[in-house]
Amino acid sequence: MIQDLANELRLNYGIEFKNLSLLDEAFTHSSYMNEHRELNIKDNERLEFLGDAVLELTISEHLYKQFPDLPEGKLTRMRASIVCTKGFSSFSREAHFDKYVRLGKGEEQMGARNRDTLLEDLFEAFNGALYLDQGKDAVVKFIQQIIFPKIDVGAFNNFTDYKTALQERLQVNGDVQIAYHTLSEDGPAHQRVFHVNVAADGQILGEGQGASKKRAEQAAAKLALDKINENQVSN
């Protein structure tokens, strides 16, 4: 299966992995690893962590150069719309990554192959592996083909980034320390629910939940904004 993936990457994107074990790791879900401990393999969670950071930097750099007149707030909102679960999962599907991820039997039966959060993680893990294998330039070359053209035609312009909106609202009169805290993670591995709160200068403004930390933080920020708006109307 990994060799088929490697062939497709070469044909579609001109990517030739030097270390196929990295590619194999990127497409190994924790459920598969847990069911095949005798193989002594790794899952893709560490690569996901790395890929998340690499993608955020690479996309930020492109937005900075492509839109020299946009202020920081609008650039942040645009970036948030690209790196959200819906965005990254759609890129995974476009690249056919959903065909190649290795899942445990239980996850497969639960339809995890089509789950947006899993495909988001997979896209990040792949780019983490590509970065380790060939460096940042290879990641840029890949997303130049799959993400940048969509950015340049305005596909991500209509997105409400509640975290940025909350920051702008709270900091209109000066600096305010805003922090998001993960309160808990509930549910089985295939249906995780994250509970998060947001605080400004130590005062809790709202709580939210979602299938990923990103979603939960957006939900908490939206609730905080709603409360601020309600208080302004009542006063």
Catalytically annotated residue among 124, 133, 161, 217: 124
Which pLDDT score, from 0 to 100, does residue 231 have? Answer: 74
What is the DSSP-derived secondary structure letter of residue 153?
T
Q: How many domains would you assign to the chain?
A: 2
Same domain, yes or no, for 25 and 75? yes
What is the CA 25 to chain-centroid distance, rounded? 18
What tens digit of pLDDT does each residue of 177-228 get? 899 999 998 877 666 788 999 998 889 988 998 878 888 888 898 888 888 8
Instruction: Find the domain containing 138 and state its range.
Output: 2-152
Which pLDDT score, from 0 to 100, does residue 196 have? Answer: 93
The answer to whether the beta carbons of residues 131 and 148 sit under 8 Å apart is: no
CATH number for 226: 3.30.160.20
Residue 52 falls in the annotated catalytic set: yes
What is residue 210's three-state secondary structure?
strand
Dihedral angle of Cα 173, 80, 215, 213, to the nearest 10 degrees? -90
CATH number for 37: 1.10.1520.10
What is the DSSP-derived secondary structure letter of residue 96?
T
Which pLDDT score, from 0 to 100, does residue 189 have? Answer: 66
Give the bridge partners for 181, in sequence order. 197
Q: Which of 127, 152, 177 is the last residue of a domain?
A: 152
153 closest CA partner among 47, 67, 87: 67
Catalytically annotated residue among 24, 25, 48, 52: 52
In a domain, 157, yes or no: no
Task: Provide the residue-wise pLDDT of the chain in tens; the chain has 235 residues.
Answer: 788 999 999 999 999 999 999 999 999 999 988 888 888 889 999 999 999 999 999 999 999 998 888 888 888 888 988 887 788 999 999 999 999 999 999 888 888 899 998 999 999 999 999 999 999 999 999 999 999 998 887 777 666 678 888 888 888 777 888 999 999 988 776 667 889 999 988 899 889 988 788 888 888 988 888 888 777 656 5
30: which 2 tokens?
């924790």
Same domain, yes or no, for 194 and 217? yes
Same domain, yes or no, for 148 and 174? no
Question: Which residues make Cβ contacts (< 8 Å) with residue 46, sequence separation at least 6?
Answer: 128
Which pLDDT score, from 0 to 100, does residue 124 have? Answer: 96
57: which 2 tokens?
């930097």
Type of residue numbered 208: G
Residue 116 falls in the annotated catalytic set: no
